[in-house]
Chain A
Amino acid sequence: MEKEVIRLENIKRDFKVGSEVVRALRGVTFSIMEGEFVTIMGSSGSGKSTLLNTLGCLDTPTSGEYYLDGVAVRTMNKDQRATLRNRKIGFVFQNYNLLPRTTAIENVELPLMYNPEYSRKERREMSVEALKAVGLGDRLEHKSNQMSGGQMQRVAIARALVNNPAVILADEATGNLDTRTSFEVLVLFQKLHSEGRTIIFVTHNPEIALYSTRTITLKDGKVTSDKRNDNILDAAEALSALPIEKD
């Protein structure tokens, strides 16, 4: 029996904007099993950012239940959610969000700094492992401003991996990258997926969905389709098929 990592039950989220109530999510229900690579698609205004914030425990739903790795999130307070994020979630952002003037390894160590269980030595070892896993084992001491976009995103992915989270949440993680680098990052995500990690990739780019195992489409705050992908493309193949650029 597969383990359920995420379960959403009739999630609703209302925002008050002035006197109007904006209903960003209008009853979203789905489950994600361990080891899935799910793409959440939707145009802007579909409620995809709100869903991402909810999944990332940054926001709490107005009603409905959200279980992350078996833990009910809705009733948690701010500090409890912060700890939950620290232990169970790895974020990858569109704009990397690395600390400026800070080395790769220091950036990757950051989530572990907020977990008192790890010693300095353990932090370092785990971060080196994570950086090796994303292919940056030789760039530990490079500062964030000395790296290319692709490298920065890989550091960010290493940072998301380092705490061994239940789920990796990627928010338009290839949005700022050119085609080639995008594929490189996708290759990395597929590799992580093959190693058994659960990945949720939020995007408006339909192409990404071709490389994931399942696609959930949102529209006007509701799930309009939830399809399993039977023909998963290999990002590494696509990458090698790209024409080699000549300058």
Chain B
Amino acid sequence: MNITNLLRLALKALSDNKFRGFLTMLGIIIGVGSVITMLAIGQGSKNSIKAEISEMGSNMIMISPGAERMGGVRMSSDDMQTLKVKDYEDIRSSCKYVSLVSPTVNASGQAVYGANNTPTSVYGVNQDYLEIRNYKVEEGDVFSDQDIHSAAKVCLVGKTVVDALFTNGEEPVGKVIRFGTIPFRIVGILESKGSNTMGMDQDDLMLVPYTTVMKRIQAVTYLQGITCSALSEEFTDKAIEEISEVLRANHKLKEDADDDFNIRSQQELSSMMTSTSDMMSSLLAAVAAISLIVGGIGIMNIMYVSVTERTREIGLRMSIGAKGRDILSQFLIEATLLSVAGGVIGVLLGIVAAYVVKALLSYPVAISSWSIFLSFAVCTLIGIFFGWYPARKASNLDPIEALRYE
């Protein structure tokens, strides 16, 4: 029997038992639907992390003081005082794979203007920092080299701070605000960046010359970190090598001594962050895959019942000339059709569910074409795999016995 006739036969058999067919498909529908939704959520969060990271600059390199361990004790990097201004200057002057360098020294506290105040963080940096982190100045200007040299009390403020302090629509540029007890003149306002993947508000900050933080706020001689940009993404590893050499030389580390600093590239960070979401989505997909298997067993069960119910029909078909493989393909196609139809409904349902999740919980979702393709492939396989045993049983029936079956 040719494939068109077999398909028509299977369609007819299924339409004779619509409700039963639907119930059988339900397992597959739920399975496929959840796989699609889970993968859409996973892919969505991965995409947004990637977008975030490329916005932050995919060639960014972060240097923090301290080895991961020191004499068996894990230390907080804030307690380390190994990074000095000289390290920053040497990286700047001698690393040719590094395009931008900025020291970082941070402090947190209360910013005050008039009757308003807000908790915020002060980042002591240089002008490069804006470019490395993709901050743009919306109004006013960046502080100058002269400001850095003189540890001037000037600042760039983020939108969140502006909104909290200047509630009655005053023009912030040129105004003086206080951070703790120290007055800062606002020289510019940063363009809003919104919050990052981890939910941190990137506009809740003040950027001031690093010298100012070191001398006037923290009164320290060391840096909390150095942030650099490699010339481009592919030079990241070379840049890290160079930086490492400079720092080891500066810190007079012996050949066999561990680094007393930590260099992390954006690439590592990105793979770390996506690996979390990868693991989550593969776990969710595994759960969904189990429900697909359960659905497959449902199909096997119903096909088995169907073969038993239609024993006489099978006997008749054989007596008028159906070969074993005709019967086999008849039931196999029926099982596959059942499973693929479930898959189609499941895919549609999954897409709808993904968009519902997006609308209600504002998760980023992205439906990838490969997940849909995969679902169909898996459904076909499930249909063939679980349909095989009942179909085999049908094709092996003895026509004499089958015709006499009551």
Residues of A within 8 A of B (CB): 53, 56, 58-59, 78-79, 82-83, 85-87, 91, 93, 97, 99-102, 110-111, 113-116, 159, 163
Contact with A along B1-42 (1 / 0, CB 8 A): 110010000001000100000000000000000000000000
Taking CB atoms, residues of chain B closer than 8 Å to A82 are 318, 321-324
How large, as a class, is the contact surface on chain B?
20 to 34
Residues of B within 8 A of A (CB): 1-2, 5, 12, 16, 312-313, 315-326, 399-400, 403
Known: A58-B399, A59-B400, A97-B403. A115 touches B321 (CB 8 A): yes
CB of B324 within 8 A of CB of A78, answer yes
Q: What separation, in Å, do the CA atoms of A100 and B13 have in the docked complex?
A: 10
Give chain B nearest CB distance to A145 CB in angstroms. 12
> 29 A-B contacts, Cβ less than 8 Å apart?
A53-B400, A56-B319, A58-B319, A59-B400, A78-B323, A79-B323, A79-B325, A82-B323, A82-B324, A85-B319, A85-B320, A86-B320, A87-B321, A93-B316, A93-B403, A97-B312, A97-B316, A97-B403, A100-B16, A101-B16, A110-B320, A111-B321, A113-B1, A114-B1, A114-B317, A114-B320, A114-B323, A114-B326, A116-B2
Give chain B nearest CB distance to A59 CB in angstroms. 6
Taking CB atoms, residues of chain A closer than 8 Å to B320 are 85-86, 91, 110-111, 114, 159
Q: What separation, in Å, do the CA atoms of A186 and B319 have in the docked complex?
A: 23
Give chain B nearest CB distance to A79 CB in angstroms. 5
Taking CB atoms, residues of chain A closer than 8 Å to B323 are 78-79, 82-83, 114
Taking CB atoms, residues of chain A closer than 8 Å to B312 are 97
Total A-B residue contacts, Cβ distance less than 8 Å:
55
Chain B contact surface mostly: helix
Taking CB atoms, residues of chain B closer than 8 Å to A99 are 313, 316
Taking CB atoms, residues of chain B closer than 8 Å to A87 are 321
Q: What separation, in Å, do the CA atoms of A85 and B318 have in the docked complex?
A: 9
Which 5 pairs of residues, A with B, have the shortest CB-CB distance? Answer: A86-B321, A114-B321, A111-B320, A97-B316, A82-B323
Closest to B312 in A: A97
Taking CB atoms, residues of chain A closer than 8 Å to B12 are 102
Partner of A79, one of B5, B324, B399: B324
Closest to A116 in B: B2
Q: What separation, in Å, do the CA atoms of A116 and B315 have in the docked complex?
A: 20
Closest to B320 in A: A111
Q: What separation, in Å, do the CA atoms of A237 and B400 have in the docked complex?
A: 36
Taking CB atoms, residues of chain A closer than 8 Å to B313 are 99
Q: What separation, in Å, do the CA atoms of A85 and B400 have in the docked complex?
A: 13
Taking CB atoms, residues of chain B closer than 8 Å to A85 are 319-321
CB of A113 within 8 A of CB of B319, answer no
Q: What separation, in Å, do the CA atoms of A1 and B381 have in the docked complex?
A: 59
Taking CB atoms, residues of chain B closer than 8 Å to A159 are 320
Give chain B nearest CB distance to A158 CB in angstroms. 12
